[in-house]
């Protein structure tokens, strides 16, 4: 599986496990809900600063986000 796709699927799963909507995660990242949706759906690349914030938002290690 493409690493880019795996990260996007992991982000979606982490968000759903936490029971939050995309717009709530987007707000915490300081981006629009549409932009975050594009990240989760693989239409935009994930920036490193967003990756680090997502680690904190979901309270997981970076490995949890990038691993299969």
R_g over Cα of the chain? 11
Q: What is the pLDDT of residues 17-57, one digit of tens each?
A: 999 999 999 999 999 999 999 999 989 988 999 999 999 99
Question: Is 3 in contact with 68 (CB distance < 8 Å)?
Answer: no
Question: Is 4 in contact with 60 (CB distance < 8 Å)?
Answer: no
What domains lie within the chain, and their CATH numbers?
3-62 (1.10.260.40)
Tokens linked to 7: 């990260």
Q: What is the three-class DSSP state of 2?
A: coil
CA distances 42 to 12, 59, Å, are: 11, 22
pLDDT at 39: 93
């Amino acid at each position: 599986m493409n690493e880019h796709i795996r990260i996007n699927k992991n982000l979606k799963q982490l968000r759903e496990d936490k029971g939050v909507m995309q717009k709530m995660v987007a707000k915490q990242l300081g981006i629009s809900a549409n932009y975050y949706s594009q990240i989760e759906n693989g239409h935009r690349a994930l920036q490193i600063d967003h990756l680090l914030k997502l680690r904190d938002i979901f309270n997981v290690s970076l490995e949890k986000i990038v691993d299969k």
